[in-house]
Each structure stands twice: as C-alpha cells, then as structure tokens.
Amino acid sequence: MPANALKYAEVLGSRMAYRDEGAGPAVLFQHGNPTSSYLWRNIIPHVSGQARCIAPDLIGMGASDKPEISYRVEDQARYFDAFMDSLELEDVVLVLHDWGSALGLDWARRNAGRVRGIVLMEFIWPIPTWLDADPRGRDAFKAFRSEGGRKLLIDDNAFIEQVLPGGVVRTLTQEEMNAYRAPFLTTASREPLYRFPNDLPIAGAPVDIWAMAQAYQAWLFETDVPKLFFWADPGAIISPARAAFLSRELKSCKSVPLGAGRHFVQEDHPELIGQEIATWLGTLPAPDRMSVTDHALAV
C-alpha cells in the first residue's frame, strides 16, 4: 500500500495511524503482535474494490504514537474503542488476527449492534492449561513470562527477530523484515512486544484477560453474526484439531483451509485470504446504515 494512504486519528491525546483504501461498507483489518497494518498490504487490494478497508496500527505500534502507558491489553482496548468511535464505524466487518482478535471480539461483544460480520484467523482464545498451548512455542512463551522475559523481548527483540519469521512458512525478505523492525528500533519502543505475551490468557492468568477472553469466546459461540474462518496446518494458536471443532460449532460460519501455514498466515496466503474475503462480503446482507461507513460520501 502506498505511503500516502496513511492517515491519523486523534485518540485519547495521541495519534493512531491507519490505512484507508477503497469505498463502500467498512471493513476493519486489525493486526496483533508484533505487526502493524503492513501485515494486510497484500490482502487489502483484493477487497478495496468493494469496501472501505481500514487498517489501524495499534497504539505504540506501527506508525502510531508511543505514549508512556503500561501497554497492557486493557490500555490497548481503551485506545481501540476510542479509535472505533472516532471514525464512527457502524455495520463494520471485523477482520481479526492475534491480539487484534482479542481486542476486536471484546469490542464486538460489547457493540454487537455495530457488527456486520467477523473474519477470524489465528485468533486468541482462553487456553485452559499450558499443555493445551502450541508445543512448539510453549517453552518460548514460558520464558517470555519468566524473570528473564524482559531481556528476551526488550533487549534481544526476540518477538521480531525470532517469533515473527518463525511464524511464516516462506522466508521474509530483508525489506519485509525491516518494515516490521522499523517501529521498534529502540529498547524504549518495545514495551508492547513485552506486554502482549505476558497478557496471553493461559490457565486462568492473567485473571482480567482470562475473564475478557472467556466472555468474548462465549459470545462468539452464541452469536449468529456471519463469520469467515481461515485456518492453517499446523497453525500455531489454532491447531487443525481446534479448527475442526470451531468449524463445527461456530454459527453462520464458512471455514476455509489455507494449507501449510503457522501463525502469520497473511504472509503465506494473501491472495487466497483476500479473494475469499471479497467473495464472502458479497454474500452478506446490505448494511443498515451507510451514512458513516460509505467512504465515497466522505471524499
């Protein structure tokens, strides 16, 4: 996406950057850790011909401001909520990944009347025990939550340099790696990269995030809001076995296997994801309120 597509919203005294492409009903693409709106660069072009595609950078990430806050998930949720209100988004389709899914599903549970559809991939759920966590990443995440976690994530920048490329089947180019590195070149800028792994809801902790995840998971299984669910093999947060369970149990859900993939499936399957989203959007009922989501009226 061209650099001139970057816009800014004033949110709680800071600026949040976002990409804004196309016209029509609003589709919000929300990244997680340690990425940015750059994650969606090869997907949005498939969708922007029929929708207004909005891809925010979470506070402290991408080109957004980096205020001096704790960067716990509760902080991220406050900024995410305020961003959604600042753009007056109604009848929005949420395309969610990683921590973007926790923020987006929590918001959707509390604002169900504003949600037209949900697209999920590698999304965060309350993991009952450490034995249920991805065995390939279990030791790393235990280390991130240990006494030495700050050194690994702040000093060594392990989430960018190890977890990110390890979550992609293909090899990321140096240009791509540098784009992901750019927001976190200093140790002071890496606090979000430390906080997110430490807030991952596993075995009941942290208590507040566990409760949040339990609540939005219950809502997700109850709601008839249309859903599009992508999954990969072997996956990371979502294994093929859990994908099969979700495909059976989620209401009004189309399940799409992507093939070989780990966590950052957008880097391995952008064309398939983009084309499937574009096709699926055409099956949704027309939005009830176009006055604020139809970007064509705002330009």
Specify whether the CB–CB gap between 227 and 195 falls below 8 A: no
pLDDT of residue 131: 81
Per-residue pLDDT tens digits for 118-130: 999 999 999 999 8
Per-residue pLDDT tens digits for 135-169: 878 888 999 999 999 999 999 999 999 999 999 99
pLDDT of residue 81: 98
Please determine, for residue 284, whether its predicted confidence score (pLDDT) is greater than 90: yes
Phi, psi of 62 (to 5 degrees): 55, -135
Please determine, for residue 64, whether its predicted confidence score (pLDDT) is greater than 80: yes
- Provide the β-strand partners of residue 123: 98
- Whole-number Å distance between alpha carbons of 246 and 1: 32
Q: Once rounded to an integer, what is the mean pLDDT over residues 222-226?
A: 98
% of the chain exceeding 70 in pLDDT: 95
Q: What is the DSSP string of 179-216?
A: HHHGGGSSGGGGHHHHHHHHH--BTTBSHHHHHHHHHH
3-state helix, strand, coil in the chain (%, to 5): 45, 20, 35
Write down the mean pLDDT value for the chain. 94
- Whole-number Å distance between alpha carbons of 240 and 84: 32
Specify whether the CB–CB gap between 239 and 134 falls below 8 A: yes
- Whole-number Å distance between alpha carbons of 177 and 169: 14
pTM here?
0.94
Please determine, for residue 235, whether its predicted confidence score (pLDDT) is greater than 60: yes
Q: Once rounded to an integer, what is the mean pLDDT over residues 269-274?
A: 98
pLDDT of residue 132: 80
Q: Once rounded to an integer, what is the mean pLDDT over residues 74-97?
A: 98
pLDDT of residue 295: 42
For the chain, list the domains and their CATH numbers.
Answer: 3-298 (3.40.50.1820)
pLDDT of residue 71: 98
pLDDT of residue 123: 98
Per-residue pLDDT tens digits for 7-46: 999 999 999 999 999 999 999 999 999 999 999 999 999 9
DSSP label of 93: E
Between 270 and 130, whose confidence is greater? 270
Please determine, for residue 298, whether its predicted confidence score (pLDDT) is greater than 80: no
Return the active site residues: 98, 122, 263
**Lookup: tokens for 27:** 């589709």
**Lookup: tokens for 241:** 């076995």
